[in-house]
Amino acid sequence: MLKLYNTLSRQKEVFTPIQPGKVNMYVCGMTVYDLCHVGHARMLAAFDTIYRWLRASGYEVNYVRNITDIEDKIIKRALERGITPMQLVDENVAAMDDDLAHLNLLPPTLQPRATQHVEGMVQMIEQLIANGRAYPADNGDVYYAVRSFEGYGKLSGKTLANLRAGERVEVDPHKRDPFDFVLWKAAKPGEPHWASPWGPGRPGWHIECSVMSKHHFGVHFDIHGGGEDLQFPHHENEIAQSEGCHNHTYVNYWLHNGFLQLNGEKMSKSLGNFFTIRDVLRQFDGEVVRFLLVRAHYRSPINYSEELLRDAKQGLERLYTALRQTPPADGVTLDWQNSYAARFREAMDDDFGTSEAVAVLFDLAGEVNRSRDPQLAAQLKALANVLGLLERDPQAFLQGEAGADGLDAAAIEAQIAARQAARKAKDFAESDRIRDALLAAGIVLEDGPQGTTWRRQ
């Protein structure tokens, strides 16, 4: 029985989809004005894991993750580079897809772009005006009248009284109330724009997700996710828009992931404290990065450091080493009656408890090392695969690519052969010298009954 933490109710709830056996999940994706950083990867990997577990639980999942492809930063960056906004978007979407493939993220069912749905946004804004929830201003903008929606603040817990006391509010003389937010922005010279009843312009950010989710799921769906920074104002505004337009519950379960932090602060481009995914992949294998992100519970913060990545690498090596020493039996399917699998399922059914599930993987790896049972090795691989881990050949992962020293597999095997010859000749000093020289280069030799294997440190 899957339970998940619903930000709206602030408690764990038994998950009951609107339509038995099917799940509609919408996740706020990237504003693609630049390369993705590992803070973005934290969110994307969290919902990839949730997506995988829902599928492993037998649900047919329709996973929509949008792309914001029109926004101030996109326009500014494209202008700086002398290209069109859509050229910038296409370039960064391709880079994002490539980066996420290295982290073994499954593609979502659909990845709609905001500019594909401008007509629907205009229609929703018209309906909000008709419902008395929005108003056009004399400057060509259209605003949502926040005080017209009685439920405003129910997701974030922020009341208008609290906001007035403790929040800075943008001053705009065209608003009727400082808390109102923009639905449609009048066009500025040189910017992309679309026709509307209020003049040429483009949609505000918040209206995009209300319309794209409605287009794919209708006015009511199961799960909406995103980073915890989106609770307010973005997701709060989505609720106001969608429920204010349709007079119907918008989403049943709201899920939000914790931040990736650097020196105690949220990793973000605005703070300048970030590493792109590509930066990190130059030093660490993509599966190591994924393991770092997945082994923490999705709602917990992660304090990013190279030390943590090195620790994740060592942990992943332990799991792969168990599979190298005991190759999994062929044709074995995941057995949920197995005691380790049952513990894994219990952990994941408790709000996607990956930290406990990963602990089960290590316990099972230890049992595989003790028993050398290919059936248990197959269970280890199958359970890890549910989290997008251990899908590669163990030897290939452990040996990796040539390091900075330039030692490739052939050169290392030649050194191992020379060491074996020295040992056979009882020249143990030479044998030890070769072993120590390889270790100094980051190559660990492991002697066993079937001979000597190696891995990169």
193 annotated as ligand-binding: no
Q: Which amino acid is at 28?
A: C
Tell me which residue range forms the domain holding 248. Answer: 3-257
Q: Which residues contact 174 (CB under 8 A, 6 or more apart)?
A: 137, 138, 139, 141, 143
Domain boundary residue, one of 257, 284, 306:
257
For residue 402, what pLDDT is reported?
Answer: 55
**Whether residue 227 sits in one domain with residue 214:** yes
248 annotated as ligand-binding: no
For residue 406, what pLDDT is reported?
Answer: 61
243 annotated as ligand-binding: no
**Whether residue 389 sits in one domain with residue 297:** yes
| CA–CA gap between residue 56 and residue 51 (Å, rounded) | 9
**Whether residue 312 sits in one domain with residue 277:** yes
**Whether residue 367 sits in one domain with residue 413:** no
**Whether residue 242 sits in one domain with residue 96:** yes
Structure tokens that stand for 217 in this block: 């799921």
**Whether residue 240 sits in one domain with residue 278:** no
Closest by CA position to 354, among listed 442, 295, 419: 295
Structure tokens that stand for 445 in this block: 């030799």
Question: pLDDT 10s digit of each residue in the chain, 457 long?
Answer: 999 999 999 999 999 999 999 999 999 999 999 999 999 999 999 999 999 999 999 999 999 999 999 999 999 999 999 999 999 999 999 999 999 999 999 999 999 999 999 999 999 999 999 999 999 999 999 999 999 999 999 999 998 887 765 555 566 889 999 999 999 999 999 899 999 999 999 999 999 999 999 999 999 999 999 999 999 999 999 999 999 999 999 999 999 999 998 877 776 766 677 789 999 999 999 999 999 999 999 999 999 999 999 999 999 999 999 999 999 999 888 999 999 999 999 999 999 999 999 999 999 999 999 999 999 999 999 999 999 999 999 998 998 765 545 677 778 888 888 898 888 888 888 888 988 888 888 788 888 777 888 887 7
Domain boundary residue, one of 212, 230, 257:
257
446 within 8 A of 454, measured Cβ to Cβ: yes
**Whether residue 205 sits in one domain with residue 66:** yes
**Whether residue 309 sits in one domain with residue 323:** yes
| CA–CA gap between residue 415 and residue 409 (Å, rounded) | 10
**Whether residue 225 sits in one domain with residue 283:** no
Domain boundary residue, one of 231, 257, 283:
257
Q: Which amino acid is at 374?
A: P
**Whether residue 328 sits in one domain with residue 197:** no
424 annotated as ligand-binding: no
CATH number of the domain that residue 38 is part of: 3.40.50.620
Residue-wise DSSP of 184-230 = EEE--TTS--B--TT-SEEE-HHHHHHHHHHHHH-S-EEEEEEEGGG
For residue 164, what pLDDT is reported?
Answer: 66
3-state DSSP assignment of residue 135: strand
**Whether residue 213 sits in one domain with residue 70:** yes
For residue 423, what pLDDT is reported?
Answer: 86
3-state DSSP assignment of residue 308: helix
Structural domain count of the chain? 3
206 annotated as ligand-binding: no
| CA–CA gap between residue 262 and residue 274 (Å, rounded) | 8
Please, which residues bridge with residue 65 across strands? 27
